[in-house]
Amino acid sequence: MSFVTRFAPSPTGPLHLGHAYSALIAYDMARANGGRFLLRFEDTDLERSKPEYVQQTLDDLTWLGITWDAAPLFQSQNLDVYNQSLAELISQGLTYPCRCSRKDIAAALSAPQEGAPHHLYPQTCKHRAMSDRAEGDAIRLHMDRACDTLGNMDLVFEELGEINKGTYHIDKNALMRDVGDIIIGRKDIQTAAYFMASAIDDIRQDITHVVRGVDLFEFTQVQVLLLHLLGHKPPKYYHHDLIRDDAGKRLAKRDDARAISKYRNDGATPNDIRQMVGLL
């Protein structure tokens, strides 16, 4: 049986310790199982993704001793692939266009919505047909129809990470009640939303084990749903703990988390990084 993992950063800033931790876990798992490790750049944020961050990522991974077994995949070069998957869901009648801004949604949710969780999309545009889609509209998944389409199919995925380890059977009623009509098609560049594009690429790259932070665990049930709607079985998942700062806050690029390149320039070794993240 094949064993394939991946590391899929967004090149919107330098890698920090949290990225190194995730990449090293995925790499070590692949090598320990005689498998393959792949690299993907999720660079559909065209404004913030920069070539210099791509190169810095390649340099940092190489310095850490990480090698990859195929040329990196760039999502920005594959938008047509994600649009084909969107078109498939559209053809099944499982979508509708949405023109609502965040302000519109907040205003609608401020009105009484008996029985509706406060964070759900209030279905303002649910009556609209895809033929009515205009420039600047997002695409939402009609969750009720999506779940009905799958009927009695058991939506199941296996979680291997220690935090949430187990076999999960997704409750379709809970998806309709607690997740609702999520955006699956972006309005800015007319392609699939991040979590959908990521799931599609996991299938395209034959990923068998998705390794990522536990902050993305809640995305999994939606990705599994989408994969089944598109006729695919999901990979296995391994959600690891997060690397946090001294205050217990998750490291993030936007908070200027210390870059791997900074540690490197200050004389740290790859083993120092492994020790910092608890892998030595």
pLDDT in tens, 179-193: 999 999 999 888 999
Query: Is 193 domain-assigned?
Result: yes
- Report the pLDDT value the prediction gives residue 119, as an integer from 0 to 100: 73
- Report the pLDDT value the prediction gives residue 101, as an integer from 0 to 100: 87
| pLDDT per residue as tens digits for the range 61-112 | 999 999 999 999 999 999 999 999 999 999 999 999 999 987 766 665 454 4
213 is written with which tokens? 């932070």
End-to-end, the C-alpha distance of the chain in Å comes to 28
Confidence of residue 49 (pLDDT cuts 50, 70, 90): very high
Query: Is 258 domain-assigned?
Result: yes
Whether 5 and 22 share a structural domain: yes
Quote the mean pLDDT of the chain: 92
How far is CA 106 from its chain centroid? 25
CB 236 within 8 A of CB 210: yes
| pLDDT per residue as tens digits for the range 201-210 | 999 999 999 9
| Nearest C-alpha neighbor of 20 from the set 278, 280, 277 | 277
User: How many domains is the chain built from?
Assistant: 2
- Report the pLDDT value the prediction gives residue 114, as an integer from 0 to 100: 40
Query: Is 36 domain-assigned?
Result: yes
Q: How far apart are CA 6 and CA 51, in angstroms?
A: 20
Mark out the alpha helices in 141-204 (DSSP H runs): 143-150, 172-174, 194-204
Confidence of residue 120 (pLDDT cuts 50, 70, 90): confident
For range 210-234, the mean pLDDT: 97
Whether 172 and 38 share a structural domain: no
- Report the pLDDT value the prediction gives residue 244, as an integer from 0 to 100: 82
- 252: domain range? 1-77+244-280
pLDDT above 60 (res 270): yes
Q: How far apart are CA 21 and CA 38, in angstroms?
A: 16
Whether 61 and 20 share a structural domain: yes
**Which of 126-135, 171-180, 257-266 has the lowest average pLDDT?**
257-266
Query: Is 22 domain-assigned?
Result: yes
Whether 29 and 107 share a structural domain: no
Query: Is 99 domain-assigned?
Result: yes
pLDDT above 90 (res 38): yes
- Report the pLDDT value the prediction gives residue 256, as an integer from 0 to 100: 56
For residue 106, how many other CB atoms are within 10 A of its CB?
11
Angle, nearest 10°, between helix axes 194-204 and 79-91?
Answer: 100
Query: Is 212 domain-assigned?
Result: no
Whether 106 and 59 share a structural domain: no
235 is written with which tokens? 């990979």
CB 264 within 8 A of CB 59: no
Whether 84 and 200 share a structural domain: yes
Read off the pTM.
0.92
Q: How far apart are CA 263 and CA 17, in angstroms?
A: 10
Whether 103 and 43 share a structural domain: no
The percentage of the chain sitting over the pLDDT mark of 90, rounded to a whole number, equals 83
Whether 146 and 39 share a structural domain: no
Whether 160 and 226 share a structural domain: yes
Whether 138 and 273 share a structural domain: no
Query: Is 237 domain-assigned?
Result: no
One DSSP character per residue, 1-52 reads ---EEEE---SSS--BHHHHHHHHHHHHHHHHTT-EEEEEE----TTT--HH
| Nearest C-alpha neighbor of 155 from the set 138, 143, 163 | 143
Q: Supply the CATH number for residue 3's domain.
A: 3.40.50.620
Whether 93 and 181 share a structural domain: yes
Whether 54 and 101 share a structural domain: no
| pLDDT per residue as tens digits for the range 130-175 | 999 999 999 999 999 999 999 999 999 999 999 999 999 999 999 9
Query: Is 239 domain-assigned?
Result: no
